[in-house]
């Protein structure tokens, strides 16, 4: 019994850590622009393909991973420059279409110049090793995911509270116009938000690839969907909400994995979405609604 609880706890925490990071990456941009970046999943894809392209290079794996994350950050910033900035002040529809277009462009680039088939990415042994914990065999990558997420969440939370840029980001997320009237530069804030989004997507990409081992052009769809659902559950305007939403969604997913009989497991997503619908009927603004501001940038 204790073993099962430990197993469940680690599974839920590990998946929740991943979901929380995914959700944070999405909500940081939503908080500022009040727009969902539909090209977010492609940042995960870019991370995967960078790792794939670096395969066989003499670089140590950690450096490869670092380069992949940096490329994700740069792609995040490019998303803002190419898809958002030129149409930011136009209609919401225009921005949604350009972000979809940028996402499709990136996917098609990979389809055309690399391959539509799955490609193995280089991964160190740590992603396949296991350890015994309270009598349970636990994949080391799950513990690595938890540690990584907690370090990132801790650092992010510290930076948001203790640095001027962090405070400015929080302020801009609640009253963007007012923040600008205090001298906070709009472009700096928006670019920083996209860069942070890229950083989270990059780290999520590495940890996600550590679970599945290979990259395909459509790899970003699941992280985007998970991040979107988690932020809706947690509250679209709240950073804490995104984290809580990520952990809650993972808790539901893992619980269903444990509780559903074998023949119903293939319908797990249907159960998860039913839960999400029921939840939203009861709490349409999410768990932590965040500051009331519907104003677009």
Partner 1 sequence: MLKVENLSVSYGAIAAVKKVDIEVREGELVTLLGANGAGKTTTLLAIAGVLRNSGKILFRDREISHWSPEKVAHAGIAMVPETRDVFADLTVLENLRLGAFTRRKDTQGCEKDLAGMFELFPILEERRTQPAGTLSGGEQQQLVIARALMSRPQLLLLDEPSMGLAPAIVDKIFDYIARLKQTGLTILLVEQNARKALTCADRAYVLALGEVAASGSAREISESSDLAALYLGG
Residues at the interface with partner 1 (CB under 8 A) = 164, 167-168, 170-171, 174-175, 177-186, 290-291
**CA separation, residue 96 to residues 52, 99, 172 (Å):** 29, 5, 21
Beta-carbon count within 10 A of 56 CB: 8
Q: How far is the CB of 173 from partner 1 (least distance, A)?
A: 8
Q: How far is the CB of 164 from partner 1 (least distance, A)?
A: 5
Q: How far is the CB of 35 from partner 1 (least distance, A)?
A: 20
Q: How far is the CB of 246 from partner 1 (least distance, A)?
A: 19
Tokens of 36: 């969902």
- The answer to whether the CB of 19 falls within 8 A of the CB of 247 is yes
Q: How far is the CB of 258 from partner 1 (least distance, A)?
A: 36
Q: Which is nearer to partner 1, 39 or 184 (CB)?
A: 184
**CA separation, residue 197 to residues 7, 34, 200, 270, 291 (Å):** 30, 14, 5, 28, 20
Q: Which is nearer to partner 1, 65 or 242 (CB)?
A: 242
Q: What residues pair up with 133 in beta bridges, in sequence order?
A: 136
Q: Which is nearer to partner 1, 161 or 283 (CB)?
A: 161
Nearest to 40 by CA among 157, 241, 184, 194: 194
Q: How far is the CB of 235 from partner 1 (least distance, A)?
A: 12
**H or E element, residue 26:** helix 2-33
Tokens of 46: 């870019």
What is the Cα–Cα distance from 201 to 224, expressed in whole angstroms? 10
Beta-carbon count within 10 A of 113 CB: 8
> Whose structure tokens read 């670089």?
59
Helix (H, G, I), strand (E, B) or coil at 115: coil
Q: Which is nearer to partner 1, 85 or 268 (CB)?
A: 85
Q: Which is nearer to partner 1, 107 or 238 (CB)?
A: 238
Q: Which is nearer to partner 1, 63 or 188 (CB)?
A: 188
């Amino acid at each position: 019994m204790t073993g099962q609880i430990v197993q469940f706890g680690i599974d839920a925490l590990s998946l929740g850590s991943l979901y929380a990071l995914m959700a944070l990456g999405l909500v940081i941009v939503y908080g500022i622009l009040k727009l969902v970046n539909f090209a977010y999943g492609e940042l995960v894809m870019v991370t995967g393909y960078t790792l794939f392209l670096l395969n066989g290079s003499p670089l140590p794996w950690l450096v490869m991973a670092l380069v992949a994350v940096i490329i994700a950050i740069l792609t995040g910033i490019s998303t803002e420059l190419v898809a958002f900035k030129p149409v930011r002040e136009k209609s919401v529809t225009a921005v949604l279409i350009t972000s979809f277009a940028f996402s499709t462009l990136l996917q098609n680039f990979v389809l055309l110049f690399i391959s539509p088939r799955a490609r193995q990415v280089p991964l160190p042994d740590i992603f396949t090793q296991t350890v015994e914990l309270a009598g349970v065999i636990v994949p080391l990558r799950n513990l690595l995911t938890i540690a990584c997420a907690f370090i990132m969440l801790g650092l992010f939370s510290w930076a948001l509270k203790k640095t001027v840029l962090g405070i400015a980001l929080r302020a801009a997320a609640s009253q963007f116009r007012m923040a600008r009237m205090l001298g906070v530069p709009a472009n700096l804030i928006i670019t920083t938000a996209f860069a942070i989004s890229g950083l989270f997507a990059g780290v999520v990409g590495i940890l996600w690839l550590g679970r599945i081992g290979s990259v395909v052009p459509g790899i970003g769809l699941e992280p985007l969907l998970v991040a979107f659902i988690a932020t809706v559950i947690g509250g679209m305007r709240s950073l804490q909400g995104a984290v809580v939403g990520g952990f809650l969604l993972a808790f539901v997913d893992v619980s269903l994995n444990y509780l559903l009989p074998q023949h119903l497991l293939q319908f797990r997503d249907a159960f998860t979405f039913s839960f999400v619908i029921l939840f939203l009927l009861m709490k349409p603004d999410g768990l932590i609604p965040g500051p009331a501001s519907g104003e677009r940038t």
